[in-house]
Structure 1
C-alpha cells in the first residue's frame, strides 16, 4: 500500500515536472515559439477562433468571436504595420463578451496571402479589405470599422470609398496625414536618408538594441521585457523583415503616404479619433488635422500614452469604442 502511494506521488510529480521543464526549455531555446503559444492561449481564453476565407485564390486569415446581428454592430479591427490580428487581444479582452468582433491579418501579414507590391499600397490594401468584407458576409449590414497606424490609413480610405458599408469608424493614431509637427520617428527617417542609411528603418529591427529602440518609440510607458522575451519577439520578426521593407516602401510613397489626407473630407460616417498624446511615431497634431476636415469628429486624446494604444491603454480604448458605437445606435433610433 505504501509502495503504491509512493508510486502515485512520483507519477504526479513527474506529470507536474514535465510541463515545467518544457516551459523552461522553450523559454531558453525557442522563445518565439513560446510567444506564439501564449497568443494561442489568450485567443482561446477570450473565445476567439482562427478562421480563413477566400476571394478567388487569395486567402484571408482572421480571428473572430460572436455572431453578427446583435444589439450593436459588428466590429472589424485593422492592425498596423508589421503587426498581426493578435495585436488587438488586449482590447478584445475588455469588449463585451457577446460583441461580434473580427480581427483580420492585413495583406501579406501573418496568415493572409503574400502576393506583390500592388497589394501593399494603401489603395491595394483597401481593395483587399473590401474583398474580405464581402467574403465573410460582413457587408450584409453596416459595421463599425477600427484601424490603427497603417490600418488607420486603410480604414480612413475605406470609409471614404465605401461609406454605405459602415455605421461608424474609429481611427487610432492613423497614418496617411500631413502632420503639422514632425514626430521623433519622422525626424529619424530624415536623418537616415541624409546619411544614406535608408535600410535602417526603426520599425524593422534586426537586433535586440534596435528592437528595444522600436518598443521605446512605440510605447510611452517602458515595457521592461525580459531579454528572452525580446529575443522571441525578434526571432518571430526577422524572417519577415524583407516583406516588411517591401510594405514600408509602398506605404511611404506619395500616393499612399497621404491617402487619408487627400480623402478625409469624403468620410461621411460618424468618426472617432483616438490618439496617445505622447505618440513618437505619428505626432498627435494629426488629430487636429482630422477634426478640421471633419468638424463632427469625436477626438479623444489619451494622457501618458504613446503610439501603441492597444497595448498601453486597452481598457480605455475598448470603452471609448463601445461608448461611441452605442451612442451612434441611440442617435439612429432617435432619428427613426
Structure 2
C-alpha cells in the first residue's frame, strides 16, 4: 500500500524525470557511455569535435550532467559540448570502497578525457562547485590539455576561520543533510527550481551512504584546500563566475583566485546564490560563451601569425 509520503514523492520524481527528458530532447543531446579498465563513464554530448576547442563541463556535489541543460540552450548547435557524470554520480560507476578526494577525481576525469580522445588538442574546461575544484586542479596538472578554464563558484579554497563558508562546512559535516545543502544553494527558491532540487534529492536518496563518503572525502584535510594549493600553477586563460549571494561558498573566493591566476577575469552575478546554472542559466551561459569565443579568437590569431 502507498503511504502518504510515497504518494507525495511519486508525482515529484515523475515530474522531474519528465522535465529532464523533455529538456534533453529540446537541447538535442545524446546520452553516451564509455568504459576504460572496468570503469564506466556516462555523459551527454552535442555537436562533433572540429577545428574549435571542445567544451567539457563538470557538475557539482549531489548533481549530475543534467544541471547544464538550461545553460547549454544558448550554446551554438555545432559547438562540441560534453557534460559528464562525475565519478560516482548519475550513471557513472559508483564504488563505495574508492576514495573521492579531489586528486582521485582529477585522475578519473583524465581517464575519461583519454577515452573519447578529447585531448589530442586543448579543450575548454568548465567546472561548477566541486566540479570547479576538480577543473582547476586538472588545469594545473595538465596545462597542455586546456585552452581555457571557466570556474563557477569552485570549492577547495582556504578562507578565514570565521568566514561564512567555514561555518557552513562545519555544520554540513556534522549533519550531512543534503536537503539543507540544496535549499541553502538557492538565492530565490522559486517553484520550478525547488521542483528540480526535489528531483535531484530523490535521485540521490537511495545512495546516501555514497554521498556521505564523497562529502567527507572532498572536505577532508587532504582535499578541502586542494584548489588553493594548485591555483598558482594554472596557466590557461581563466574565467571566474560567482553568485553575489552565495551562502555555500563565500564569494570572496573570486578575488582569491583572480589575484593568483595571472590571465583571469571575474563576473559577479546579482541576485544569485550558489546554484548558478539553475538560477542564472542565461546570464552564466552568456558569460561562458563570450569568454570561450574570446579565447578561441586569440588561438586563431596566434595560428595565423605563425
Same fold (TM over 0.5): yes
**Does the CA-based 8 Å contact 1:181-1:283 persist in structure 2?**
no
Question: Which of 109, 125, 128 is equivalent to 1:148?
Answer: 128
CA distance in 2, matches of 1:27, 1:171: 37
Question: Which of 217, 221, 245 is equivalent to 1:254?
Answer: 221
Task: Report the secondary structure of 1:256's partner residue.
Answer: coil
Post-superposition shift, 1:30? 4.3
Question: Which of 250, 262, 265 is equivalent to 1:298?
Answer: 265
* Residues 1:90 and 2:70 are matched in the alignment: yes
Unaligned runs of at least 5 residues, structure 1: 1-25, 205-210
CA distance in 2, matches of 1:279, 1:231: 20
Q: Paired residue for 1:127?
A: 107
Task: Report the secondary structure of 2:223's partner residue.
Answer: helix
Task: Report the secondary structure of 2:82's partner residue.
Answer: strand
Q: Paired residue for 1:36?
A: 17
Unaligned runs of at least 5 residues, structure 2: 1-6
Question: Which of 325, 329, 332 is equivalent to 2:296?
Answer: 329
Q: Paired residue for 1:218?
A: 185
**Does the CA-based 8 Å contact 2:168-2:248 persist in structure 1?**
no
Q: Paired residue for 1:111?
A: 91
CA distance in 2, matches of 1:321, 1:227: 25
Q: Paired residue for 1:14?
A: none
1:32-83 CA distance string (max 9 Å, x none): 133123212211111001000011110000000000114x311100000010
Sort the Cα spacing of 1:166 and 1:228 in 2 relative to 1 into closer, same or farther, 3 A.
closer
User: Following superposition of structure 1 onto structure 2, how do residues 240-279 of structure 1 map, counting pairs within 5 Å?
Assistant: 240-279=207-246
* Residues 1:136 and 2:116 are matched in the alignment: yes
Question: Which of 40, 49, 52 is equivalent to 1:59?
Answer: 40
1:161-184 CA distance string (max 9 Å, x none): 001111010010000101248554
Sort the Cα spacing of 1:253 and 1:148 in 2 relative to 1 into closer, same or farther, 3 A.
same
1:172-228 CA distance string (max 9 Å, x none): 0000101248554531443577xxxx2x124x2xxxxxx3x4344101112235988
**Does the CA-based 8 Å contact 1:186-1:281 persist in structure 2?**
no
**Does the CA-based 8 Å contact 1:172-1:275 persist in structure 2?**
yes
Question: Which of 176, 180, 195 is equivalent to 1:201?
Answer: 176
More displaced stretch, 122-131 vs 222-231:
222-231
* Residues 1:237 and 2:218 are matched in the alignment: no
Tell me the matched-pair count: 298
Question: Which of 136, 152, 157 is equivalent to 1:177?
Answer: 157
1:296-330 CA distance string (max 9 Å, x none): 21111111111111011111111111111111122
CA distance in 2, matches of 1:143, 1:226: 31
Q: Paired residue for 1:318?
A: 285
**Does the CA-based 8 Å contact 1:189-1:201 persist in structure 2?**
no
* Residues 1:69 and 2:50 are matched in the alignment: yes
**Does the CA-based 8 Å contact 2:238-2:263 persist in structure 1?**
yes
Sort the Cα spacing of 1:104 and 1:228 in 2 relative to 1 into closer, same or farther, 3 A.
closer
CA distance in 1, matches of 2:76, 2:196: 30
Task: Report the secondary structure of 1:294's partner residue.
Answer: coil
* Residues 1:162 and 2:129 are matched in the alignment: no
More displaced stretch, 27-36 vs 98-107:
27-36
**Does the CA-based 8 Å contact 2:63-2:89 persist in structure 1?**
yes
TM superposition score normalised by structure 1? 0.82
